[in-house]
């Protein structure tokens, strides 16, 4: 027998009977009806046993691959590197970088890559002044437009060379020298950062005859940082530098021999 409508709990509603008094999950008649349908074979696809069977069938259909898909780790990427600052330029760069589109030439190319006559090697003597064990990052000092800039982070995982806005202001570079950049930067965990612009600055690494000077296309970020500059792969590749974190050292070929920091 149904309860008196005046005595029913108005905060509870049963969608099976469509009246107030108790919740749908607590409806005894609804549970009995579902149990009856299961025994008649109408709800096999929704029962735990059936779901477990389907899961086993899907696992058997999968290829036997003991290696699971690796977790993706985000690093700094974006900016004007890897093809340029437009979608068309980046797509062209991507197609050229795809091994399926490589063109194998039988004739000797007209222009050969420059190969240094010096070998870049590291020995235990290079690490003698370093306290071990350590997990320190490689933070160096270089000259940028006649300014000695400290706390430059060497980051082989960064696709962009970055200079922070505060450091640029201390160097006295006016904002009018910046050119606009459309492509944003993406950091760890996919954090999106908009640069204030980009600028070419002269960078010198090393000392004396064992130094190299090149123009670096820096992106400017106006965010707090313990570093003044992040030296990424574009400049490291242009320097043909080799970074060894165990030795806290980077070496590169210069006209006078091997330079190092």
CB-based burial, 195-232: b 16+ in 10 Å, e otherwise: bbebbebebebbeeebbbeeebbbbbbeeeeebbbbbb
Q: Are 183 and 211 in contact (CB under 8 A)?
A: no
Q: Token digits for 90?
A: 């980046």
List, in order, residues 6 or more apart from 46 with CB less than 8 Å away: none
Share above pLDDT 70 across residues of the chain, in percent, rounded to a whole number = 63
Better pLDDT: 202 or 63: 202
Task: Report d(CA 203, CA 68) in Å as an integer.
Answer: 43
What pLDDT is attached to residue 106? 45
Q: Would the pLDDT of 13 be above 60?
A: yes
Cβ–Cβ < 8 Å for 231, 221: no
Provide the pLDDT for residue 104. Answer: 44
| Among 257, 239, 241, CA closest to 249 | 241
Question: What is the per-residue pLDDT for 39?
Answer: 74
User: Alpha-carbon distance 217 to 202, whole Å?
Assistant: 9
Q: Is the pLDDT of residue 42 over 90?
A: no
Give the closest residue to 173 by CA, choosing from 207, 202, 142: 202
Structural domains of the chain, ranges and CATH numbers in brackets: 5-61 (no CATH), 117-260 (2.40.70.10)
Q: Which residue has the tokens 């050229």?
A: 96
Alpha-helix residue ranges (DSSP H) falling in the chain: 28-39, 48-61, 87-97, 165-170, 233-239
Q: What is the pLDDT of residue 103?
A: 44
Q: What per-residue confidence (pLDDT) applies to 236?
A: 92
Q: What letter would DSSP give residue 179?
A: B
Strand, coil or helix: 92? helix
Whole-angstrom Cα distance, residue 216 to residue 160? 10
User: Which pLDDT belongs to residue 128?
Assistant: 79
Q: Using pLDDT thresholds of 50, 70 and 90, give the confidence band for residue 165.
A: very high
* Over residues 76-87, mean pLDDT: 56
Per-residue pLDDT, 209: 86
> Which pLDDT band, with edges at 50, 70 and 90, does 62 fall under?
low
In the predicted model, is pLDDT for residue 147 greater than 70?
yes
Top-confidence residue, 156 or 93 = 156
CB 261 within 8 A of CB 142: yes
Average pLDDT, the chain: 76
Q: Which pTM value belongs to this model?
A: 0.56
With bands split at pLDDT 50, 70 and 90, how would you rate the model's confidence at 1? very low
**Tokens, residue 151:** 């706390």
pLDDT at site 188: 60
Confidence of residue 33 (pLDDT cuts 50, 70, 90): confident
pLDDT digits (tens, 9 = 90+) for 104-142: 444 455 555 555 667 778 888 877 778 888 888 899 999
Distances (CA, A) of 126 to 209, 217, 243: 19, 30, 12
């Amino acid at each position: 027998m149904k309860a008196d409508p005046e005595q029913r709990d108005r905060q509870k509603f049963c969608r099976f009977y469509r009246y107030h008094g108790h919740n749908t999950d607590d409806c005894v008649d609804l549970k009995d009806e579902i149990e009856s349908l299961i025994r008649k074979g109408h709800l096999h696809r929704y029962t735990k046993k059936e779901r477990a069977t389907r899961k086993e069938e899907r696992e058997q259909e999968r290829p036997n691959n003991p290696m699971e898909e690796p977790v993706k780790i985000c690093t700094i990427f974006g900016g004007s590197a890897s093809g340029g600052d437009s979608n068309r330029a980046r797509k062209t760069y991507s197609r050229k970088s795809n091994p399926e589109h490589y063109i194998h030439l039988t004739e000797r190319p007209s222009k050969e890559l420059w190969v240094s006559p010096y070998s870049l090697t590291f020995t235990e003597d290079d690490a003698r002044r370093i306290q071990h064990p350590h997990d320190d990052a490689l933070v160096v000092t270089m000259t940028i437009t006649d300014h000695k800039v400290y706390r430059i982070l060497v980051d082989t995982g960064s696709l962009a060379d970055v200079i922070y806005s505060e450091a640029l202001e201390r160097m006295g570079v006016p904002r009018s020298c910046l050119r606009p950049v459309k492509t944003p930067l993406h950091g760890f965990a996919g954090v999106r950062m908009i640069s204030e612009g980009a600028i070419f600055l002269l960078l010198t690494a090393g000392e004396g005859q064992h130094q190299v000077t090149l123009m670096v296309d820096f992106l400017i970020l106006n965010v707090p940082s313990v570093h003044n500059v992040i030296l990424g792969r574009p400049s490291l590749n242009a320097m043909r530098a080799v970074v060894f974190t165990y030795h806290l050292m980077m070496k590169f070929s210069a006209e006078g021999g091997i330079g190092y920091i």
